[in-house]
Structure 1
């Protein structure tokens, strides 16, 4: 069952997929007085003097749209359309002026302090604008692309190509591996670059032609040398940093043999449930508070409903 508390998963708007394909309808929304515009600058939300994400409406919103290198429809709230606007091509001072903002911030540093739907909307805006900004040329023929479907599609302008580009998602798995012994134990690993006690769950990208469960088994075997039996889905999380989808699993190890690869991992070992609780409550914690990895670990420890 999906966990409602996962960050970046609850965008509140109707995404209006059947309406955003009509350029006349989109143009009409951009002219409306009740338009809402969320300005972003180089993947960072702009912040007001009170530390809240800037949101512009009416004429001020249309001024942001006019200055933006790209706009993208996030969706409808009733009849009110909300757009994201990318001011990355302007300097920061102009972006702040247009957004009536005092500064900008990395979204992940804000996530724990924002209401869930707002954090999800900012993440959605970030991912969509990032994709547009990095898809300005066709990967097949090299011709410039143009935005379509209110920022949800790009079209190649090449005379002999005409390829349609859609936002790409990079799926990855993250897994809590349980020991086969009767007493609950789970596997944590320390990656290259991590601190001396920087243990975390194992994760990896899905390869072409591979199932999610297959990725779990391959990644755990390749990196930690642990053979996996049963694999159970737990939940998923959009991760637009820049374009991920993290899919969470719990897996059962066949035995406790560990043989780390020495490339991705420095070490891995089994932790008891009491040790995990101790790490979360008084130690290094369960990892980033906005990540599905932290939620998987807190859930397994029986602490998913608490702030730690």
Structure 2
């Protein structure tokens, strides 16, 4: 899988920022028969009778929108508008009845089997609806907030405050650390709560005032006791579970010493490229298949989608 194939990165829409602020235009789009409504229930998608994630149009789409606690415009796909509808205020049986669906499902459990654009759409819908559901009150004064911008802005209802709230994104880094000299090795760690052979890359949230590269150096030093020098950006991945942005790096350690913190990590050690290939192909694997961490590991190991390259 190349970087362009990372899950949740291929949202296919014109997000229409110049038009979604007009409530009349948004209402007109929602009323059209060709408009698509993606229903969600408590961060889960709804599955149609055939087992595919539900995407409703016409009368069915309008019924889902009318029953929803919140509707948000995802964007335009050509001339067609696509909305997400949050049915979380209903119980599960009622949400299924309203949409004609047969079940609800976790998006991450489906992602590997879905077209990339569909997986990205569901994650986008989940993220924007989650934010709306959890931003119903102003953090400055405590008054209720009202929806604006097609579900992408919430404004404090207190005229004396009127603060605008925008979707919060929580950036985090994930890093593959290389040993300083031959043979080629990378650093994997086992976090507390992980199984006895469940090693993964190091990751952590960006703190206030930090650069992304600074976060890489701090997290690796804090958790594994490894000092790193060169830090190279490799790619990023939207991660709305619930509000993340994962930024991937490769870093070069200054020496081989490891001193795990004992809080976040149980152990960490260097793995050769051959060892990592064996883990990916026949062993515990390279972590969740939908994550940029797995892509960093497969890329460093010289693999494509878990298969050894020709030659």
- Normalising by the residue count of structure 1, what TM-score does the alignment of the two structures yield? 0.98
Q: Quote the residue 1:10 is aligned against.
A: 10
Deviations 1:169-203 (A, max 9, x none): 00000000000122110000010000100110000
**C-alpha distance in 2 between matches for 1:73 and 1:168:** 17
SS of the aligned residue for 2:64 comes to helix
RMSD: 1.0
**C-alpha distance in 1 between matches for 2:134 and 2:173:** 24
Pairwise CA distance, 1:158: 1.4
Q: Quote the residue 2:256 is aligned against.
A: 256
Pairwise CA distance, 1:94: 1.4
Q: Quote the residue 2:67 is aligned against.
A: 67
5 Å matches for 1:195-274? 195-274=195-274
**C-alpha distance in 2 between matches for 1:175 and 1:44:** 29
Q: Quote the residue 2:23 is aligned against.
A: 23
Q: Quote the residue 2:100 is aligned against.
A: 100
Contact (CA 8 Å) 1:72, 1:150: kept in 2 or not? yes
Pairwise CA distance, 1:115: 0.3
Pairwise CA distance, 1:294: 0.5
Pairwise CA distance, 1:32: 1.2
Pairwise CA distance, 1:159: 2.9
Structure 1 residue ranges without an equivalent (≥5): none
SS of the aligned residue for 1:56 comes to coil
58-67 or 245-254, which deviates more: 58-67
What is the aligned length?
A: 307
**C-alpha distance in 2 between matches for 1:271 and 1:36:** 47
Q: Quote the residue 2:151 is aligned against.
A: 151
Q: Quote the residue 1:46 is aligned against.
A: 46
Deviations 1:79-128 (A, max 9, x none): 11010000000111111112110000000000000000000000000000
Contact (CA 8 Å) 2:281, 2:306: kept in 1 or not? no
**C-alpha distance in 1 between matches for 2:175 and 2:74:** 31
1:278 and 2:278 aligned: yes
- Cα distance change of structure 1 residues 41 and 143 upon mapping to structure 2, 3 Å threshold: same
Q: Quote the residue 1:167 is aligned against.
A: 167
Pairwise CA distance, 1:307: 5.4
Pairwise CA distance, 1:304: 2.7
SS of the aligned residue for 1:89 comes to coil
Structure 2 residue ranges without an equivalent (≥5): none
Contact (CA 8 Å) 1:225, 1:259: kept in 2 or not? yes
**C-alpha distance in 2 between matches for 1:204 and 1:98:** 40
- Normalising by the residue count of structure 2, what TM-score does the alignment of the two structures yield? 0.97
SS of the aligned residue for 1:183 comes to coil
SS of the aligned residue for 2:3 comes to coil
Contact (CA 8 Å) 1:138, 1:144: kept in 2 or not? yes
**C-alpha distance in 2 between matches for 1:306 and 1:207:** 33
- Cα distance change of structure 1 residues 196 and 8 upon mapping to structure 2, 3 Å threshold: same
Deviations 1:224-248 (A, max 9, x none): 0000000000010000000000000
Contact (CA 8 Å) 1:55, 1:99: kept in 2 or not? no
